Amino acid sequence: MTNPVTAGSPSAPPGEPPPGAARVLAALDAVRDPELDEPITSLGFVSSCTVSADGDAQVRLRLPTYFCAPNFAFLMVADAYDAVSALPGVSTTEVVLDDHFASDAINGGVAARAGFARSFDGEAVGELHELRADFLRKAVLAGTDLVCRPLAAAGAGPPELAALTLGQAPPSDALDRLRQRRSELGLPAGDDAPLLIDPATGAPLASDAVPLHLRRAHTTRVSIEANAGICRGMLRHRYGTSGLGEEEQ
Q: What percent of the chain has pLDDT over 90?
A: 90
Q: What percent of the chain has pLDDT over 70?
A: 93
Confidence of residue 8 (pLDDT cuts 50, 70, 90): very low
- DSSP notation for the chain: -PPP--EEPPPPPTTPPPPPHHHHHHHHTT-EETTTTEETTTTT-EEEEEE-TT-EEEEEE--SSTT--HHHHHHHHHHHHHHHHTSTT--EEEEEE-S-TTHHHHHHHHHTT-HHHHHTTTT--S-SHHHHHHHHHHHHHHHHHHHHHHHHHTT--HHHHHH-BGGGSPP-HHHHHHHHHHHHTT---STTSBSSB-TTT-PBPPGGGHHHHHHHHHHHHHHHHHHHHHHHHHHHHHH-SPPTTPPP-
pLDDT in tens, 71-123: 999 999 999 999 999 999 999 999 999 999 999 999 999 999 999 999 998 77
Q: What is the mean pLDDT of residues 22-39?
A: 97
Give the lowest-confidence range in 120-124, 173-177, 208-212, 235-239: 120-124
The whole-number pLDDT of residue 144 equals: 98
pLDDT in tens, 50-71: 999 999 999 999 999 999 999 9
**Where is pLDDT greater, at 6 or 194?**
194
- DSSP notation for 52-76: -TT-EEEEEE--SSTT--HHHHHHH
Does the pTM surpass 0.85? The reply is yes
